[in-house]
Structure 1
Amino acid sequence: MIRESGTTGFQSRMVPAASSRLTNAVAASLAIAALSLCLSVSLTVLSTKATMAMVLH
């Protein structure tokens, strides 16, 4: 297969896709979502352990 000159796939020029404020807002919302997920998993595990302890007594 012969490639035509000038068709080298992705260009090396970097173009900003979004502003830095938008990037920071997305990063902050992802961090809050991850923290919220960890908190809910921790509460679920603790409540499950408490329920199991009550059943045994």
Structure 2
Amino acid sequence: MMRASGTAGFQSPSATVASSRLTHAVAASLAVAALSLCLIVTLTVLSTKATMAMGLPV
């Protein structure tokens, strides 16, 4: 039994999944999201520390 050439395996040329502009846009949006998450966590920690330093009114 003989196989037809090019019907099995990874012999077909690879196709580009996404353009470089799309890849860069996704990377930039992930970087902005990570930066904003770090900023939110920092502000939360600082505000918690400030609240704890004030103490409760008696």
- TM-score normalised to structure 2 length: 0.73
- Aligned letter for 1:25? A
Give 1 or 2: higher helix fraction.
Answer: 1
Provide the aligned C-alpha RMSD in A: 2.2
* Higher RCO (CA < 8 A, seq sep 6+): 2
The residue correspondences of 1:21-40 to structure 2 (distance < 5 A) are 21-40=21-40
The reply on whether 1:20 has 2:28 as its aligned counterpart is no
- TM-score normalised to structure 1 length: 0.74
**Sequence identity percentage:** 67
Q: In the alignment, what sits opposite 2:47?
A: 47
Count of residue pairs brought into register by the alignment: 51
